[in-house]
């Protein structure tokens, strides 16, 4: 049973990270073909975030669609509208935290608020939002502050890893800003924005490779117990 559960989770992780590896780069490719890659910092390119939002939402439906009846019952008991509201407020808080954090790290204090806001929105969408959808407000808070350990839960592990690498990607993206190359993509916040997306995709690729390796390993393993079983009978 446990192995089956694990297998299921692994498959989920593999497929969802594969989907991410496909949909995010394709969004970036499309907008760069449209020539609006360098306006991702403007409010007008909000639709990119909307697309990511929808994609993450769909992904989370897939991730949450567990056969676990217990969990379904739990969810049904709760007030959905209240949950959504609380989640929304939580996301807002996280976004504000990101916003302040980015400014503390060196973003302009008095201007470029729109750009910083877009970046913090993206970071929220890529880091906390999937976690929130998967586990809910309380446990994502606990996970964030390291109070709860995610143990052997591969999906949550994947989500937390994604979040960490996304933030690292945004951090690394800032490296190119001071260079005097005068290219359009050095404008705030494009390097960090693309860095965050790059970190997210990188993390997902890593997850995909690791989990698919594990999957193939486990799918080669089963014949042995089966053989044993037959011998017993």
Partner 1 sequence: MKEKWNFILYLVWFAYLILSAVLMFGHGFLLSRKTLSDVTECVPLDNFGCDGHENSTVKGYCDEEEKIRRIVAVPGGPLACVPKQSRVVFLLVDALRYDFTEYDESIVKPLPYQNRLPVMREMLDRWPDRTRLYRFMADPPTTTLQRVKALATGSLPTFIDASSNFAAMELQEDNIIDQVTRNGGRAVLLGDDTWSRLLPKRWLRSHAMYSFHTWDLDTVDNEVDAKIYDELRRDDWNLLVAHYLGVDHAGHRYGPNHPEMTRKLDETNIRLKKVISMLPPDVLLFVVGDHGMTENGDHGGESKAERTAALFAYRGAGLAGTGVDLMIGKEVQQTDLAPTLSAALGRPPPAPSLGHLLLPVLPQASKSHTLLHITNNLKQITQYMIRYGEESQQVSLDRLAHLINTTREQLHKAASIETDDDLNNYAADVRALVDNVRNVFREVWVEFDSLSMLRALLLLLLAIFFNWLITEGIPMERLPNVFASTFVPTGLISMAVCIGVCYTAFYFKFLEDLEHAIILSTGLISASVTCVLIIMHWDGIAQRWYEGRSQFYERFARAALAASAAVLVSNSYIIEEGATLAFLCMTVLGLMAWNIGNFTALLYWIACGVAFAATRSYRGCREEQGDCWTAGAGVPTGQSSRPALVLGMGTVAAVVAICRRHVGWRGYCTVVAGLLACSHWATGYGSLGSPSRAKLLARAAWLVLAVMLALLWKREGRGATLPLMAAGLMLFVANTLVLGVSYAPAAVLSLVLACLALNIVARLKSDGSTKFSLATRCNSSVACMWALLASYAFYGTGHHATLGHVRWAPAFHAGDPNYLDIGPPITASLVSLELFGTMLAFGAAVPLLALWGQNGAAKVGPRTQLAAVFSLCLKFMLCFAIRVFACAISATIHCRHLMIWGVFTPKLLFEAGACAAALVGTVFGATLVAWHLPTQHRSS
Residues of this chain that interact with partner 1 (CB under 8 A) are 101, 103-106, 109, 146, 171, 174, 178-180
Instruction: State the minimum distance, in angstroms, from the CB of residue 64 to partner 1.
Output: 30
**Sign, Cα dihedral of 142, 146, 148, 153:** positive
CA 81 to CA 63: how far, in whole Å? 21
Identity of the residue, 106 or 222, whose beta carbon is nearer to partner 1 in the bound complex = 106
Identity of the residue, 28 or 112, whose beta carbon is nearer to partner 1 in the bound complex = 112
Instruction: State the minimum distance, in angstroms, from the CB of residue 32 to partner 1.
Output: 25
Angle, in degrees to the nearest 10, between helices 113-135 and 137-144: 110
Alpha-helix runs per DSSP H in 35-45: none
Identity of the residue, 13 or 163, whose beta carbon is nearer to partner 1 in the bound complex = 163
CA 175 to CA 132: how far, in whole Å? 30
Instruction: State the minimum distance, in angstroms, from the CB of residue 178 to partner 1.
Output: 4
Identity of the residue, 182 or 231, whose beta carbon is nearer to partner 1 in the bound complex = 182
CA 11 to CA 172: how far, in whole Å? 31
Angle, in degrees to the nearest 10, between helices 46-64 and 2-34: 170
Contact 207, 20 (CB under 8 A): no
Instruction: State the minimum distance, in angstroms, from the CB of residue 125 to partner 1.
Output: 22
Contact 24, 193 (CB under 8 A): no
Identity of the residue, 71 or 179, whose beta carbon is nearer to partner 1 in the bound complex = 179
**Nearest to residue 177, comparing CAs of 197, 193, 200?**
193
Identity of the residue, 87 or 187, whose beta carbon is nearer to partner 1 in the bound complex = 187
Query: How many Cα atoms occupy the beta-carbon half-sphere of 32 within 13 Å?
Result: 10
Instruction: State the minimum distance, in angstroms, from the CB of residue 172 to partner 1.
Output: 11
Task: Phi first, then psi: give them for residue 147, nearest 5 degrees.
Answer: -75, -40
Instruction: State the minimum distance, in angstroms, from the CB of residue 117 to partner 1.
Output: 17
Contact 194, 185 (CB under 8 A): yes
């Amino acid at each position: 049973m446990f192995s089956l559960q694990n297998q299921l989770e692994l498959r989920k992780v593999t497929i969802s990270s594969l989907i991410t590896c496909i949909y995010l780069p394709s969004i970036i490719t499309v907008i760069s073909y449209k020539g609006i890659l360098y306006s991702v910092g403007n409010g007008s390119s909000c639709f990119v975030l909307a697309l990511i939002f929808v994609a993450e939402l769909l992904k989370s439906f897939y991730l949450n669609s567990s056969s676990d009846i217990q969990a379904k019952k739990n969810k049904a008991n709760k007030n959905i509208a209240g949950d959504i509201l609380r989640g929304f407020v939580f996301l807002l808080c996280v976004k504000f935290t990101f916003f302040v954090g980015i400014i503390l790290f060196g973003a302009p204090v008095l201007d470029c608020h729109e750009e910083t806001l877009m970046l913090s929105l993206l970071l929220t969408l890529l880091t906390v939002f999937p976690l929130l959808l998967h586990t809910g407000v309380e446990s994502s808070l606990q996970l964030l502050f390291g109070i709860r350990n995610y143990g052997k839960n591969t999906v949550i592990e994947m989500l937390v890893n994604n979040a960490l690498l996304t933030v690292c990607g945004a951090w690394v993206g800032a490296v190119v800003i001071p260079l005097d190359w005068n290219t359009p993509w050095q404008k705030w916040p494009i390097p960090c924005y693309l860095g965050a997306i790059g970190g997210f995709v990188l993390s997902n690729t890593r997850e995909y490779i690791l989990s698919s390796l594990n999957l193939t390993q486990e799918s080669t393993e089963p014949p042995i117990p089966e053989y044993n079983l037959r011998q017993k009978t």
